[in-house]
C-alpha cells in the first residue's frame, strides 16, 4: 500500500531531473548518471506493439493519470460540500450572532469555490460532474439522486438533523449549526484521508494539492467554530487556563483538600510535565519545532488499591505505597521501581498483585529493558509482592502468560486451601511460542489461539512462587457451534455508528462474589459471567452498543442489580469530549440486570465540553456508598472528576465535579485522572501527569451532610478496596444513616408531618440527648403510612435501621 508519506516522496521525485540539471556541474553528477541507452517503452494491450517513450513523455503519463477512486471522491465531495451550503443558507434568518454570521459567510465562499474547482476538474476529463444546485432548484436537497455511498459519507447530517436545524433559532440554532458543521468538516477531512489511504490515488498533482487545501481550510474553520461553540456554554470547565502546576480549576459541590506531587524517581526533573522535546531552530530567528511526543507513559500514574490505612498507587514505572493518616491524608511510605506497563494493583492481606504487559518488562524489575525477540528475562503476566513491611516490599512470585496482564480481578480467597483466585485480562500481542510454550496467535478459527480467552490464576499465599495459570476459559465462544470467536467480529453497526473493536479480549472484569456475578468490558461487548465456580466462569449474557468503540470497564451498584460500562473511544490518548463529539461515544452505558440479563437504560457523558489539548473519555471510577442511592465517582482523564447519580438508571445526572485546565496550551500532553475512588470518606484521584489528589464532597441540593457522613460510615469487606472486586458495603445502625434516608424522603416530597418529628428525634439521638423510645414513637406515623413504590422501599430501609437503633 502507498501511504500518504510515500506518495509525497514519489511526487517530489517528479522534479528531480531539474534539480539534477542545476547540480550537473557538481562532482556527484557522474555517480548519479540518469542517462540510459536501454529503450523506454509502454506496452500495448495483448497482441499490440509496444510504444517507445521519451523520459519526458513517461513523466507526463505518470503526472496525468487519475483513478476511478479519484473521480468518485470528487463526485461525492461535491454533494458533501453542497450540504454545507444548504446549512449556511439557513443562518441569516435564524441568528444575529456576528461570529456565526461571519463563519457562515467564510464557509459559503470556500465551499462554492471548491465545488467549482471539482466540477471543472471532472468536466475537463470527460467525467460526470454532479450539479446539486440544479437539483435544489427543482425542490430537492443535497441528498437527492445520491447513491448509497453518497448517503453514508462521513459527517453528513441526516434529514432529521437538517429539519431540527431549520426549526431552531437564536442560541439553540447557533449550537446546532456549529455542531453539525464541525462534524461535517471533520467528515470532509476523513474523506480525504480515506482517498489517500487507497493505492494509486491522487497521483494527479493538481488533485493532490486540492486535497491538501481541503484538509487545511476545513481544519482552520473547525478551529474557529470550536472556539465559538465553547463561548456559548456557561459551564466553567470549558476553556480553563492551561498549566502544569498552575492550571485553572473548577469545582462544584466538592472541594480539593490535598495535592501531592509525584515522588522522586517517578518523574523527569528536567521535564516534569512531559512536554515534547524541543528541536532547535536551524536558522537564527526561526521558531523552534517540537518532537511529536516526550517520554509518553514512562512515569504515568495509574490505578489504586486500599487496605486499612494503606493505599498503593500504580504507575508505569512501578508503584508507590502511602499511609493514610489523620482524616485520610496520604503520606509516602515507599516507592518501588519496577517498570512493566500500567501496573494495576490489588491487595489481599499482605499480598500485592501487579499487572505487567509491556514487552520490555523484566522478571528482575531491571530498567534496561529487553531487545531480543525471545528472552528468558521477559516478564508478561502478574507480579506478586509481600508488603507485610510496606517500607520494603519483596517480589515473591511471577505468573507468566501469553498476552501479559493489562488488568486483573481478585475473584476469591484465600480460602481453606490457602489460594487466591485471579482473573487476568491481557490485551497485548501474543508472545513468541519459543519464549512460552502454548502461546499461539492464530486466527479466529484456530482453536489453539491464545486470543479469545481470559486466564484464571491460582496464587498459593504460603508459596507465591508456585502461582500459575490453571485455565484459559473461552468466555467468548459461540453457544451453538462452540467456535471460540462467538461475539462481536469487529466493524461498525451501520450508517453513522461507531467502529467497534473485535471481541477477542477483556479489558476489565469486575467481580461481585456475593451474587456469583462478574461484568466484563470486553473490547466489542459487555458481558455478564456466572462465577459460581470461580475456576470455570460461564457467560450468561452479552450486549453491544452502536456508540462504543472499545468496552473498557464495568462497575456494579451496591446491590449488584445495575452495572455502568464505559467506552474508551480513542484509547484515552485523544480529545473525545469536544463540543461536537457524539454524546453516546466515549461515554457510559447504564444497564439494569434482570434475571441475569443486561437491559439497557441510558448513556451518560461528561456534560462539559473539553478542548483539543485535553485527552478525555470515560474511565475508571467507583461507587460512593450513600445508602438508598446509586452514586458514581468517575475519572474522565483531563475532563476531570464527575459525580454521577444513576439511582434512576434511565436518567443519570451529574451532581458534582472537579476539573483542571490542560497540562499545556500548545501541546496535547497525556494527563488528567486515571482513576477516582471513594474510600473511607474521601475521593482519591491518581493524576497521570501531576500526582495524587484528595477530595471531599460538600452538601448541596443533591447531597445532604447526613448522606455524605453516612457514606463515610460504610464498612468495606475485610477493610479492603480493589478496583475490580466489589462487595456490598454495609452501614452501622447509626442515627446518621437513618437521617440520610429521611433526607431522601424529604427530597422526594414526602409529607413533612410524617418525617419532621422523626428527624428531630434522630438529631437528638445523634447529639446524645435523645432516647430510643422517642425515636420509636416518632417513627410510628411513617411506619404505618403507605408510600408509592418509588419511595416505599426507601421507607422500609429506614424502618430497618430504626429497628436496630431502638432494639
- pLDDT, mean of residues 376-400: 97
Rounded Cα–Cα distance for residues 336 and 125 (Å): 67
Neighbouring residues of 44: CB distance < 8 A, sequence distance ≥ 6:
50, 51
**pLDDT at site 54:** 82
Confidence of residue 645 (pLDDT cuts 50, 70, 90): very high
Domain boundary among 707, 731, 755: 731
Residue 769 has pLDDT above 80, yes or no: yes
Confidence of residue 552 (pLDDT cuts 50, 70, 90): very high
Q: Is the peptide bond before 414 cis (omega within 30 degrees of 0)?
A: yes
Write b or e for each residue in 641-677: b if 16 or more Cβ atoms lie within 10 A of its Cβ, otherwise e. bbbbbbeebeebebbbbbbbbbbbeebbbbbbbbbbb
DSSP label at 491? B
- For residue 136, being part of any structural domain is answered with yes
Domain containing 191 — which CATH number?
1.20.1260.10
Q: Sheet containing 621-624: which strands, arranged edge to edge?
A: 249-252, 653-660, 641-645, 631-635, 621-624
**pLDDT at site 152:** 65
Residue 140 has pLDDT above 60, yes or no: no
How many domains does the chain fold into? 3
The three cell numbers of residue 586 are: 466515549
Count of Cβ atoms closer than 10 Å to residue 45 Cβ? 5
Residue 28 has pLDDT above 50, yes or no: no
Mind giving me the DSSP string for 590-616? Answer: EEEEETTEEEEEEEE--SS---TT--B
215 and 81 in a common domain: yes
Rounded Cα–Cα distance for residues 320 and 306 (Å): 12
Confidence of residue 71 (pLDDT cuts 50, 70, 90): very high
- For residue 463, being part of any structural domain is answered with no
Where are the alpha helices (H) located in 1-140, listed in sequence order?
Answer: 4-13, 16-22, 29-32, 55-64, 68-88, 98-124, 132-137
755 and 671 in a common domain: no
Which position has the higher pLDDT, 778 or 19? 778
Confidence of residue 647 (pLDDT cuts 50, 70, 90): very high
Domain boundary among 232, 248, 264: 232
Domain boundary among 705, 731, 757: 731
**pLDDT at site 292:** 57
- For residue 222, being part of any structural domain is answered with yes
**pLDDT at site 137:** 55
SS3 725: strand
- For residue 409, being part of any structural domain is answered with no
581 and 724 in a common domain: yes
793 and 652 in a common domain: no
What is the SS3 assignment for 120-150? HHHHHCCCCCCCHHHHHHCCCCCCCCCCHHH
Range in 278-292, 496-510, 589-603 with the lowest mean pLDDT:
278-292
Residue 579 has pLDDT above 90, yes or no: no
**651 to 69, 591, 671, 744: CA distances (angstroms):** 46, 12, 30, 17
Residue 151's φ and ψ, nearest 5 degrees, are -70, -15
Confidence of residue 587 (pLDDT cuts 50, 70, 90): very high
Rounded Cα–Cα distance for residues 300 and 343 (Å): 10
SS3 155: coil
Q: Is 375 exposed, middle or buried (0-12, 13-18, 19+ CB in 10 A)?
A: middle
Residue 30 has pLDDT above 50, yes or no: no
Q: 705-713 and 735-747 helices cross at what angle (nearest 10)? A: 140
Residue 325 has pLDDT above 80, yes or no: yes
726 and 581 in a common domain: yes
The DSSP bridge partners found for residue 314 are 319
pLDDT above 70: percentage of residues in the chain: 91
Confidence of residue 24 (pLDDT cuts 50, 70, 90): very low
Answer for the pair 674, 620: CB distance below 8 angstroms, yes or no: yes
206 and 174 in a common domain: yes
228 and 205 in a common domain: yes
247 and 219 in a common domain: no
Q: Which residue has the cell 531491571?
A: 366
Rounded Cα–Cα distance for residues 150 and 134 (Å): 17
Neighbouring residues of 806: CB distance < 8 A, sequence distance ≥ 6:
772, 773, 775, 776, 779
Residue 629 has pLDDT above 60, yes or no: yes
**pLDDT at site 60:** 62
Write b or e for each residue in 271-305: b if 16 or more Cβ atoms lie within 10 A of its Cβ, otherwise e. ebbbbbeeeeeeeeeeeeeeeebbeebebbbbbbb
Mean pLDDT over each residue of the chain, to the nearest integer: 90
Confidence of residue 41 (pLDDT cuts 50, 70, 90): confident
Residue 31 has pLDDT above 50, yes or no: no
Confidence of residue 374 (pLDDT cuts 50, 70, 90): very high
777 and 716 in a common domain: no
- pLDDT, mean of residues 217-238: 89
227 and 185 in a common domain: yes
The three cell numbers of residue 572 are: 484515552
pLDDT (tens digit per residue) in 670-728: 999 999 999 999 999 999 999 999 999 999 999 999 999 999 999 888 899 999 999 99
208 and 118 in a common domain: yes
Rounded Cα–Cα distance for residues 373 and 400 (Å): 16
Count of residues making up the chain: 807
Alpha carbon 221 to its chain's center: 26
Q: Which domain holds residue 757?
A: 735-805
Neighbouring residues of 710: CB distance < 8 A, sequence distance ≥ 6:
626, 627, 731, 734, 736, 737, 739, 740
pLDDT (tens digit per residue) in 451-510: 999 999 999 999 999 999 999 999 999 999 999 999 999 999 987 789 999 999 999 999
Residue 571 has pLDDT above 50, yes or no: yes
Which position has the higher pLDDT, 310 or 579? 310
SS3 224: helix
**pLDDT at site 444:** 67
**pLDDT at site 26:** 37
Residue 533 has pLDDT above 70, yes or no: yes
- For residue 500, being part of any structural domain is answered with no
Confidence of residue 290 (pLDDT cuts 50, 70, 90): low
pLDDT (tens digit per residue) in 616-628: 999 999 999 999 9
- For residue 214, being part of any structural domain is answered with yes
Confidence of residue 61 (pLDDT cuts 50, 70, 90): low
Which residue from 106, 121, 14, 9 is spatially nearest to 58, judged by alpha carbons?
14
- For residue 165, being part of any structural domain is answered with yes
- pLDDT, mean of residues 118-127: 94
What is the SS3 assignment for 517-561? EEEEEEECEEEEEECCCCCCCEEEEEECCCCCCCEEEEEECCCCC
- pLDDT, mean of residues 281-286: 72
- For residue 654, being part of any structural domain is answered with yes
110 and 197 in a common domain: yes
Amino acid at each position: 500500500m502507498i501511504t500518504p508519506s510515500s506518495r509525497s516522496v514519489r511526487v517530489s521525485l517528479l522534479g528531480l531531473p531539474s534539480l539534477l540539471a542545476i547540480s550537473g556541474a557538481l562532482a556527484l553528477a557522474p555517480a548519479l548518471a540518469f542517462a540510459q541507452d536501454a529503450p523506454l517503452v509502454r506496452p500495448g494491450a495483448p497482441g499490440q506493439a509496444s510504444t517507445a517513450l521519451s523520459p519526458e513523455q513517461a513523466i507526463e503519463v505518470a503526472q496525468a493519470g487519475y483513478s476511478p477512486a479519484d473521480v468518485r471522491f470528487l463526485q461525492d465531495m461535491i454533494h458533501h460540500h453542497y450540504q454545507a451550503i444548504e446549512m449556511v443558507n439557513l443562518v441569516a434568518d435564524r441568528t444575529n450572532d456576528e461570529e456565526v454570521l461571519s463563519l457562515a459567510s467564510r464557509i459559503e465562499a470556500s465551499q462554492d469555490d471548491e465545488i467549482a474547482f471539482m466540477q471543472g476538474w471532472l468536466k475537463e476529463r470527460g467525467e460526470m460532474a454532479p450539479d446539486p444546485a440544479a437539483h435544489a432548484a427543482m425542490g430537492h436537497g443535497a441528498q437527492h439522486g445520491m447513491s448509497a455511498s453518497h448517503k453514508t459519507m462521513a459527517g453528513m447530517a441526516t434529514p432529521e438533523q437538517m429539519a431540527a436545524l431549520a426549526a431552531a433559532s437564536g442560541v439553540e440554532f447557533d449550537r446546532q449549526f456549529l455542531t453539525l458543521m464541525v462534524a461535517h468538516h471533520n467528515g470532509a477531512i476523513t474523506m480525504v484521508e480515506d482517498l489517500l489511504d487507497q493505492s494509486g490515488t491522487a497521483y494527479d498533482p493538481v488533485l493532490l494539492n486540492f486535497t491538501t487545501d481541503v484538509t487545511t481550510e476545513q481544519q482552520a474553520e473547525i478551529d474557529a467554530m470550536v472556539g465559538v461553540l465553547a463561548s456559548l456554554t456557561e459551564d466553567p470547565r470549558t476553556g480553563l487556563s492551561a498549566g502544569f502546576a498552575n492550571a485553572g480549576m473548577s469545582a462544584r459541590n466538592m472541594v480539593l483538600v490535598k495535592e501531592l506531587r509525584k515522588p522522586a524517581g517517578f518523574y523527569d526533573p528536567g521535564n516534569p510535565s512531559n512536554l515534547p522535546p524541543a528541536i532547535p531552530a536551524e536558522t537564527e530567528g526561526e521558531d523552534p519545532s517540537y518532537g511529536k511526543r516526550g517520554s509518553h507513559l514512562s512515569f504515568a500514574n495509574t490505578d489504586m488499591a486500599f487496605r486499612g490505612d494503606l493505599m498503593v498507587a500504580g504507575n508505569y514505572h512501578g508503584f508507590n505505597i502511602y499511609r493514610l493518616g489523620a482524616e485520610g491524608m496520604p503520606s509516602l511510605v515507599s516507592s518501588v521501581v519496577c517498570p512493566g506497563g500500567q501496573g494495576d494493583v490489588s491487595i489481599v492481606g499482605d499480598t500485592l498483585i501487579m499487572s505487567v504487559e509491556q514487552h520490555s518488562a523484566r522478571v528482575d524489575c531491571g530498567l534496561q529493558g529487553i531487545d531480543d525477540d525471545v528472552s528468558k528475562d521477559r516478564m508478561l503476566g502478574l507480579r506478586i509482592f509481600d508488603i507485610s513491611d510496606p517500607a520494603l516490599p519483596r517480589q515473591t512470585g511471577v505468573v507468566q502468560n501469553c498476552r501479559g496482564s493489562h488488568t486483573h480481578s481478585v475473584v476469591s480467597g484465600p480460602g481453606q486451601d490457602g489460594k487466591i483466585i485471579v482473573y487476568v485480562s491481557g490485551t497485548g500481542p501474543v508472545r513468541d511460542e519459543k519464549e512460552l510454550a502454548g502461546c499461539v496467535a492464530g486466527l479466529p478459527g484456530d482453536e489453539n489461539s491464545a486470543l479469545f480467552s481470559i486466564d484464571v490464576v491460582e496464587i498459593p499465599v504460603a508459596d507465591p512462587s508456585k502461582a500459575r495459570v490453571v485455565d484459559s476459559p473461552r468466555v467468548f465462544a459461540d453457544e451453538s457451534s462452540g467456535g471460540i470467536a462467538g461475539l462481536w467480529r469487529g466493524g461498525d453497526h451501520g450508517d453513522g455508528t461507531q467502529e467497534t473493536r473485535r471481541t477477542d479480549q477483556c479489558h476489565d472484569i469486575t467481580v461481585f462474589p456475593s451474587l456469583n456475578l462478574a461484568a466484563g468490558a470486553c473490547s466489542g461487548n459487555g458481558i455478564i459471567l456466572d462465577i459460581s465456580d470461580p475456576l470455570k466462569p460461564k457467560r450468561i449474557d452479552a450486549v453491544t452498543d452502536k456508540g462504543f468503540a472499545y468496552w473498557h470497564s464495568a462497575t456494579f451498584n451496591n446491590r449488584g442489580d445495575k452495572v455502568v460500562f464505559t467506552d474508551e473511544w480513542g484509547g484515552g490518548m485523544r480529545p473525545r469530549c469536544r463540543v461536537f463529539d457524539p454524546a453516546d461515544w466515549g461515554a457510559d452505558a447504564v444497564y439494569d440486570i434482570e434475571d441475569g440479563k443486561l437491559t439497557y437504560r441510558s448513556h451518560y457523558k461528561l456534560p462539559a465540553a473539553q478542548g483539543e489539548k485535553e485527552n478525555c473519555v470515560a474511565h475508571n471510577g467507583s461507587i460512593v456508598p450513600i445508602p438508598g442511592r446509586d452514586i458514581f465517582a468517575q475519572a474522565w482523564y483531563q475532563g476531570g472528576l464527575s459525580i454521577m447519580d444513576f439511582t434512576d438508571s434511565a436518567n443519570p445526572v451529574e451532581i458534582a465535579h472537579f476539573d483542571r485546565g490542560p497540562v499545556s496550551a500548545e501541546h496535547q500532553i497525556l494527563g488528567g485522572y486515571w482513576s477516582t475512588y471513594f474510600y473511607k470518606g474521601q475521593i482519591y484521584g491518581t493524576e497521570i501527569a501531576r500526582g495524587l489528589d484528595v477530595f471531599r464532597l460538600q452538601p448541596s441540593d443533591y447531597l445532604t451532610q447526613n448522606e455524605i457522613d453516612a457514606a463515610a460510615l460504610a464498612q468495606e469487606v475485610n477493610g479492603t478496596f480493589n478496583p475490580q472486586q466489589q462487595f456490598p458495603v454495609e452501614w452501622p445502625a447509626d442515627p446518621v444513616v437513618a437521617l440520610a434516608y429521611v433526607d431522601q424522603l424529604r427530597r422526594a416530597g414526602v409529607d413533612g408531618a410524617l418525617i419532621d418529628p422523626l428527624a428531630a428525634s434522630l438529631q437528638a439521638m445523634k447529639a446524645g440527648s435523645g432516647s430510643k423510645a422517642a425515636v420509636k414513637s416518632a417513627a410510628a406515623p411513617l411506619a404505618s403510612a403507605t408510600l408509592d413504590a418509588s419511595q416505599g422501599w426507601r421507607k422500609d430501609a429506614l424502618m430497618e435501621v430504626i429497628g436496630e437503633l431502638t432494639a
